[in-house]
Structure 1
Amino acid sequence: MGNNTDSEEGLWHQSLLGHGDAFGALYDLHRDRVFRHAHRLCGNHHEAEDIMAASFLELWRRRKQVRVVEGSVLPWLLVTTTNMSRNSARTALRYQRLLKALPRSGDLTDPTSDSYRSYQDNLDHDLAHALATLTPEDLHLVTLVVFEEYTIVAAATVLHLTPAAAKSRMHRARQRLRAALNGDASTNTPTAPTPVLEGERP
């Protein structure tokens, strides 16, 4: 999956010994991909930064229990980021309910008034909503296989599945995502333009 396997294994070994500099190098190595995944799930830049930070903190806190796959901690990080994002979404929902209960001023400036920003936000939120229709297990699988292009076998290893079970789950998850992105009423997704999933092939 990557050209940094040997160096990453060395950095991880040093991290297990408690060396913060080595862990910092791992952070630099994977932070962009972890951030992109967090943003893909929540559709919000600042929230994605918080989720990314929490995921790396969890990696450090639980480093003795982390499952390394193909010489990398990235698959574990991505699964953890998914879990953090789901927890964040539940917190955000409670926060949004509170905001809706507060009185609003009609004079406030709409931060999404820029047409391009509004269009991009719609794409991000449509994809986030579509991903939210998946079960946690299927979301982990889609993250690893579709977005990060790990093999089914590698993803199955991370998720403690057999390759056959992972392949079957992957097929059902793709069908559900397509239905959600195409505006299937049962998924309650917005009706903005359909985003293209990374890793999908015509």
Structure 2
Amino acid sequence: MTLAEQHRPVLDAAHGGDPAALAQLLRLCQPDIRRYARRSCLVSDVDDAVQEALLVLSRRLGSVRLLAAFSGWLFKVVRHECRKLARLALRHAPYDDERAERWLAAQDTAGLRLDLVNALESLPADYLHMILLRDFAELSIAEIAALLGLTAAAAKSRLHRARLLAREYLVG
């Protein structure tokens, strides 16, 4: 059942301009928007993407011509917000290699170990598991994917996000 079918009466009323129905629709859609944003955004951008998507929903719901296409439209808005936030983050180049090298050179071994432990402890469990399997247990992507029941592409993606978060913690 699509989001539009699931919330049809509230969606119709909100589309018709009922402010109470719009407020209820925003509450009903938020968990789905957040779940989709977690898959589409950097972890640090999820809350911002959800907020922006809800704002776009509240402002532009009246322009949606076919309410049956509401779910697709809403997830397209979330995906657009995630990409916009990623572009903004990349424009500032927070992870340039020179900066990382300077940071590493300035660290003593004991301090680096402590920072690395703290960075790993800050990761969500799924991401920590990926780093431990790949970088400490030295399993291949294919082995990790088979072990976790993922596709190789999903395992690579999860590992990439895990490393980005760890790097963000250490260098950012």
On the 8 A contact 1:56/1:77 being kept in 2, the answer is: no
Deviations 1:114-173 (A, max 9, x none): 6454363737x99xxxxxxxxxxxxxxxxxxxxxxxxxxxxxxxxxxxxxxxxxxxxxxx
Unaligned runs of 5+ in 1: 127-176, 193-202
Q: What displacement does 1:51 show?
A: 0.3
Counterparts in 2 of 1:178 and 1:14: CA distance versus 1, 3 Å: same
Q: Which amino acid aligns with 2:54?
A: F
May I ask how many residue pairs the two structures share in their alignment?
134
Query: 1:36 aligns to what?
Result: 35
Q: Give the whole-Å Cα distance in 2 for the aligned partners of 1:97 and 1:16.
A: 41
Please, what TM-score do these two structures have when normalized by structure 1? 0.49
Q: Which has the larger Rg?
A: 2
1:3-61 CA-to-partner distances (Å, cap 9, x unmatched) read 9847x22222322233322111111111111111111222415x211101111211222
Residue matched to 1:17: 16
Query: How many angstroms apart in 2 are the aligned matches of 1:191 and 1:29?
Result: 28
**Contact 1:11/1:25 (<8 A) preserved:** yes
- In structure 1, C-alpha distance between the alignment counterparts of 2:90 and 2:57, rounded to whole Å: 26
Distance 1:191 1:5 in 2: 33
Partner of 2:56: 58
SS in 2 for 1:14: helix
Cα distance in 1 between the residues matched to 2:60 and 2:117: 39
Q: Do 1:43 and 1:121's aligned partners in 2 also have CA atoms closer than 8 Å?
A: no
Q: Which residue of 1 aligns with 2:86?
A: 89
Please, which of 160, 166, 172 is the counterpart of residue 190 of structure 1? 160
Structure with higher helix content: 2
Kept in 2, the 8 Å contact 1:30–1:74? The answer is no
Q: Deviations over 1:81-104 (max 9, x none)?
A: 011111111111123348876985
Provide the TM-score with structure 2 as the length reference. Answer: 0.56
Distance 1:57 1:4, change over 3 A: closer
Contact 1:68 1:76 in 2 (8 A): no
Q: Does residue 180 of the first structure (1) align with residue 153 of the second (2)?
A: yes
Among all aligned residue pairs of Structure 1 and Structure 2, give the percentage whose two residues are the same amino acid.
23
Runs of at least 5 residues in structure 2 that lack an aligned partner in the other structure: 132-149, 163-172
